[in-house]
Amino acid sequence: MGHMWKTIFAIAFFFGKGIANECEPYRVDDVVIACVCNSTYCDGPSDDEPKVPKEGSSFWYVTNKNGLRMHKSEVNFGSCDGSPADATITVDSSKQYQTILGFGGGFTDSFGIDLSKLSPAAQEQLIRAYYDPKKGSGYTLGRIPCASTDFSTRFYTYDDVVNDTSLKHFALAEDDYKYKMPYARKALELNKETLFFSAAWTPPAWMKTNNKISGKGYLKKEHYQTYANYLVKFMDEYKKHGIDMWAISTGNEPLNAFAFNLPLISMGWTPKMMADWIANYLGPTLSSSAHNKTMVLAFDDNRHVLPWFVEPTLENRASSKYVVGTAVHWYQDFLAPAYLLDRTHNEFPDKIIIMTEASIIDPVWNTSKVKDESWSRGEKYILSIIEYMNHWAVGWVDWNLALDVSGGPTWQKDYLDSAIVINADEDVFYKQPMYYAIHHISRFVGRGSARISVTGDTSAVESTAFLTPSGEVVVVLYNKDTVPKHVILNDLQNGPLCFELSPLSMNTLKYK
């Protein structure tokens, strides 16, 4: 494994300060695995790139297994008579569905720890790669855990003094000040539209029925109000440091409490318990606090129990009035067909659905698996995003924004892959195909965009489409076949486009 730094420095010098164009490839046996970024250089659009193509044409961006990364070209609308067609796709911007909230990732302790080991200039490059609306992915969402997760270096809560019901001893951890707040504020500085939301993995153990941080434990009834106060205190402290929470969830993955012998930090809810706590404790406490605009995200777990799990909350006006929608994770999507999202939307059309956590176990960086698996993991990401968008999700949020080459640190030793991998020893980071999978949508589909109708053959080409607030049409296509696919895209307002998708390729078309 290796890469040539002479090329990087030559390109950085030529373009001057800031981000230039081309990917500096990280190769394994001549296969492009990732793009390398350092303190002075990272691939991205040029400063003078036009926002929209000329009339009668579309910008076309391609990332593929063969090594292209956001390769830009133009294709013209016109007659496709006689053109071969492996797939015909019809786009109709007059048929609109959900409004998009955004895309983002998690500001975990582990991300902050790894990022802090880079030079300040490289740190800036990495956060810019995600949150800069012009040079990066245009992220507008950030998930900030309340206290520790498995992606911390130790377990902690903000008040481990047993039976401190007045929360006299409540205090944030050093990790908040060193590893979460500074980088969240930097993201907000880069993109003022960034909305933050939070989730706790567990309350202090003394508030739970099993007095443990994991296992089958619920919130003790006598601490329903204590825990609501605890979460508001957390938001109070973040607000003092310039970070407001758009939403807070009912807690990360409550179903883990019901899994036999699962050591992950968790607290269980039953559907009725969750509805009661929101209606009578969390909701009123938020409403009477400085966070009276902060909404509740219900559930925050895998979708296989939807809509059943959220029905008691969303059918009850006393609880639903505080809830903006349902948060779901992707980990058991193979067991849970996407029509469960449709059912949830159809039952509660005034509530959003947002995918709040995705990641892939078994990091492969610096292993023999990276050559074969790096692309397939990017494929999983883009297919998931397309599926969620086509089934009413308003956003898609990755887990750790970045991790080190080992997939950590993690005190529970459940190492994960990440869209960006940090190599602090060389002061560089690597943008994997997973990064570009999200980038292909998040960079072009801003808040307020509407999903629009796209129909056609999806046997080899998966697709989704949007209309932006400025009137641009964005069509995202993935060719999941190992051979090229000739596509005719028929836009009912603009006419046909004819083009060939390269094998195993992510494609974004943008036109007006």
E-strand ranges in 114-181 read 141-146
Query: For 140, how many CA atoms within 13 A lie in the half-sphere containing its CB?
Result: 19
E-strand ranges in 239-392 read 245-249, 295-302, 323-329, 352-357
In whole angstroms, what is the distance from residue 464 CA to residue 478 CA?
A: 9
DSSP helix/strand/coil, 213: coil
Single out the residue of 253, 235, 252, 231 nearest to residue 244, CA to CA.
Answer: 235
Q: In what order do the strands lie in the sheet with 461-467?
A: 71-76, 57-64, 505-511, 473-479, 461-467, 450-456, 87-99, 485-491, 495-501
Q: Which residues are catalytic?
A: 253, 357
| Inter-residue contact 489 to 495 (CB < 8 Å) | no
> Cβ of 331: how many Cβ atoms within 10 Å?
18
The token duo for 108 is 């975990």
In whole angstroms, what is the distance from residue 95 CA to residue 297 CA?
A: 28
Q: In what order do the strands lie in the sheet with 420-423?
A: 25-28, 31-37, 428-431, 420-423, 403-404
Query: For 182, how many CA atoms within 13 A lie in the half-sphere containing its CB?
Result: 14
